[in-house]
Structure 1
C-alpha cells in the first residue's frame, strides 16, 4: 500500500476502505469530531487522514454530535470540531525497532513467546497435569489478576503470583476448618468462588512456568540485554563484536539471530561491511536485511528513531540509563515520545500536520485516538498507559493488527515475496 493508490490491487483498496471505516466507527464511539493529525512524510497516512475527514463530512456524525439538523456540512464540520480531541495517524515504518525487541512485561511476553489467539492460549501442562494440553482464557473482564498485572515486568510478576498462591493457601486453611454445620454450609456456598480462584492461580503459575522455560531455553536474558543496549547506546565496535559472537553461537536460535541482525542494521545502517558480514552468517535469510532497509530504512523515516544524533540526546540517554536499574526495559517506544510531545503542545506541525489550517497545536488534548498503519505492539500499549496516567489524558490505541516479532518478520517476508 506504499505505492500510489492508482496502482493498488483490489485487496489493497479493500484494506484501505476497511481502515477508513474502522477509524470512522471509533470516532462514533468518541461522540466527537476530532482534529486529525498525521505523519507528514507518509503519503499513506495523509491519504487515510483526508479520507477519514471526507467520511466524517459525508456522514451524519455532525448531526449526531450536535443533536440538530445542519444544512451546511463544511461550516458545521469546522464549528463542531473539538480541538481537545485528536486523531493521530502514524506509520509503522517510523518505528520498526519496537516489534523486533524481546518483551519483559507480562501481557507482552505472553503475546511474544506463547501461541495466543482471540485471548486464548494452549499450553503443554507437563508436570502440572495429567492432560497433555490445557486451554486458558486471558480476559481483563473475568481475570482480575491479569487485569491488574498485565504491565508488570517479568521479575515482579513472579512475586505477585507467589503472593497470590500464599493468600490462597491461607484462605484454604481457614475454609477447611469444618467443625460445625454452619462451617460446612458456609464452605459449600463459597466453594464455586474458591474453585474459580484455584483455577486462576493454576493458570498463571503454568503460564509463568512456560515463560521461564522459554526464556532460559533461548537465552533471552543475554540476547535482550544486547538489544536494549543497541536501542539506548551508540557503540558500534562493541555491538558489532557481541552480535558477531551471538551469530556464531550454535545455541542461539536462527530466529533470534535474525532479529539481532535486523536491529543492528537499523541502528548502524551505514556500516555496510559489517552488515554484509552478518548477512553472510544469515545465509538464505540475508534478503530480510535488504528488504528491511529498503522499506523501513532511515531514508523513509522522518525522525531520529534511536534519539542519539545530538549531544543533548546522548546526554539524556546516558542519564536515563544510569537511572534505570532494570537493563531489560530501558527502551521507550517512539510512540511514547510522540504522545508526550502532543500532550505538552510540542508536537511539530511540520512533522505532524493537521487536515485543517486553523488548529491550535499548543492546546493540551483531553482525548487522543492513535491509529498505526502496519500494526501496534503491546510495548506501545504499555507506554500509552504510562502517558495516560502521567498526564491524565484519555488515549485509545489501535492499528491494522497486533504485532509481535514473528508477525513483523512474517510481514517482511510477504514484502520480499510480493
Structure 2
C-alpha cells in the first residue's frame, strides 16, 4: 500500500461495488479483457462521468471484437491510456504461479465450456512465457486429451508471439492424474500443514480472529521455514527466539553516551519486527500442534505405505481407520481414494462395501466416485490406466522422517526431463521454432522449466520447484541412469489453476 501512496494512488476500489463519483480524479482501471469487465468500465460513463479520465490497463491481449465494443461506447472518449501488460496470472510465490480459477477443471470437462476455457488458459500460459522472457519447447501428456489440446493451443500462441525471439527452456503440461496421491496425503511440512489444518485462504491464515499474511518477500521466517518438516520448524523457532531475546538483552545495555543511546534507538525497531515475526510463527505452530492429534502419526504411516506401494495388504491396513467413528468423513474419503489409486481401481462391490462400512453419508459417495472424471481409476477397469514414468525409489537410509517417504511424481518428472529421459510413449514434444540462446547452450545460464498441472498444484510440488532450483533436494544416486549424474541446473516454475489441498480437491470432486 505504501508503494501505491508514493505514486499518489490514494483510493483502491472494487469495480463490482457501487462507488461514489469522483469526476475531479483520474482513474486507473486494471481488468482482464473480458466483456463482463469492460461493461463495468463502460457503465461508469453511460450518462455522467464517474472519473475525469480512464487509464486502462489490461492483463493481456484485448480481442478485436471487444476493442470495437469498447470503441463504440461513450467511455472511449475518456480513455487517456490503454495498455496490455501481459500478466494474466497470479505470481503466488517466486516459483509458483496460479491462474486463480479453482473451478477450471470442472468447466473443461463440460463440453459447452471446454474449448473456450482451454483457449483462455493458453493465453495465460503465453503471458507466463513473456514474463520469463522467452519461448519454450513444449512437452505434454499425450494420453490426456485436455493436455493434447492445451499444448496445441499454447504452441500456436507462442509461435505467433513476436516478443519471444529465443527458446529458453521447456514447458511441461501434465494432468493431475499423473500423481493423484500428492494432494491427498498428510504432508507434514510447515506450509502444507498450515494450508491443510488451518485452511489458509491463499497466503492468509486466520489465528484467534486475526488475519496473518504469509508473504515470502516480507516475512523472512516464513520463506526460510515453510518447506521444512514441522519437527525441524519447532526446534528452529525456539532456538531463533532464544537467540534474538539474548541479543536484545545485550543491546539494551548502554554506557550512557549519546552515541550508544542513538545506536540502541536505531536498532531496536529492527529487533522488535524480528520478535513480532517469530512470535507470529510460534502462534501458528502452536495452533498446528493443538490441531495435530497423536493418531495422525499412525495415519501418516498408512498413507505413506499406500502412496509408496510398500504394503502387502492395503485394504486390511485401512479397515481400522474406516471403522473408526472418531475419524472425519473427509479423512476416510482421503484414505479410500488413496487405496483406489494404490490398487489402480477397486471392484465396484468392494468399493461400495467400504463406503457403507465407513459410515460416510451416501450422498457423499459421489466425491469418491467422481474421481473418474479426473482421469483417475476408482473402479477396476473403468478407465485405461494412465501411463507414467517409472517411480524412482529413495534409499531408506537417506530418509530423515518416515512420515515423509513419498516423493511426488512431479519431482521425478522434472528430473527425467532435465536428463532428457522422458518416455515418448507418454510425453510428446512440440519444439519451438525459435533458436536456443547461446548462453543456455554453453551452460553459462540455467535453462528454465515450466510445469503446468491441470487440476491443482500440491504444496509438496511447490516445494519441489524451490528445492530443485536451489539444489537443496538431495536424491539418492539410484534415482539416475548410469549415463546421467545428479547435477540439476534448471530454474523451475510450477503452477496450476489453484493450490490442490485435500479439502479443495474433495470439494472439486463433489461439484461435478
- What's the TM-score bracket when you normalise by the shorter of the two chains? 0.7 to 0.9
Question: In 2, Cα distance between the equivalents of 1:378 and 1:221?
Answer: 19
Mapped contact 1:236–1:268 kept (Cα < 8 A): no
CA change 1:145–1:340 in 2 (3 A) is same
Q: 1:42-191, aligned counterparts within 5 Å?
A: 42-62=144-164, 65=165, 80=166, 82=167, 85-124=169-208, 133-182=209-258, 183-191=260-268
TM-score, length basis structure 1: 0.82
Distance 1:165 1:356, change over 3 A: closer
Label 1:211 to 1:32 Cα distance change in 2 as closer, same or farther (>3 A).
Answer: same
The whole-number CA distance in structure 1 between the counterparts of 2:468 and 2:134 is: 22
SS in 1 for 2:127: helix
Name 1:303's counterpart in structure 2. 387
Q: Rg larger in 1 or in 2?
A: 2
- Cα distance, 1:2–1:404 mapped onto 2, change above 3 Å: closer
Q: How many residue pairs end up in the alignment?
A: 375
**2:420 matches 1:345:** yes
Q: 1:356: Cα distance to partner?
A: 4.1
Q: Which runs of 5+ in 2 are unaligned?
A: 1-103, 378-382, 435-440, 472-486
2:455 corresponds in structure 1 to 374
Give the 3 Å change call, closer, same or farther, for CA 286–6 of structure 1 in structure 2: closer
Residue 286 in 1 paired to residue 361 in 2? no
Measured after TM superposition, the shift of residue 123 of structure 1 is 0.5
Distance (Å, rounded) in 1 between the aligned partners of 2:373 and 2:316: 25
Structure 2 counterparts to residues 292-331 of structure 1, below 5 A: 292-293=371-372, 295-298=374-377, 299-304=383-388, 317=393, 320-321=395-396, 323-331=398-406
2:489 pairs with 1:386: no
**Contact between 2:304 and 2:403, CA under 8 Å: does it hold in 1?**
yes
- Structure in which a larger fraction of residues adopt helix: 1
TM-score, structure 2 as length reference = 0.68
SS in structure 1 at match of 2:411: helix
**CA contact 1:86–1:369 (8 Å) conserved in 2:** yes
User: Hey, what's the Cα distance between the residues in 1 that align with 2:304 and 2:151?
Assistant: 34
Q: Unpaired segments of 5 or more residues in structure 1?
A: 66-79, 125-132, 308-312
Instruction: Looking at secondary structure, tell me which structure has more strand per residue.
Output: 2
* CA distance in 1 between partners of 2:371 and 2:119 (Å): 26
State the Cα distance separating 1:332 from its structure 2 match: 0.9
Does the 8 Å CA contact 1:100/1:404 hold for their aligned counterparts? yes
RMSD over aligned Cα, in angstroms?
Answer: 2.8
Q: Contact between 2:447 and 2:490, CA under 8 Å: does it hold in 1?
A: yes
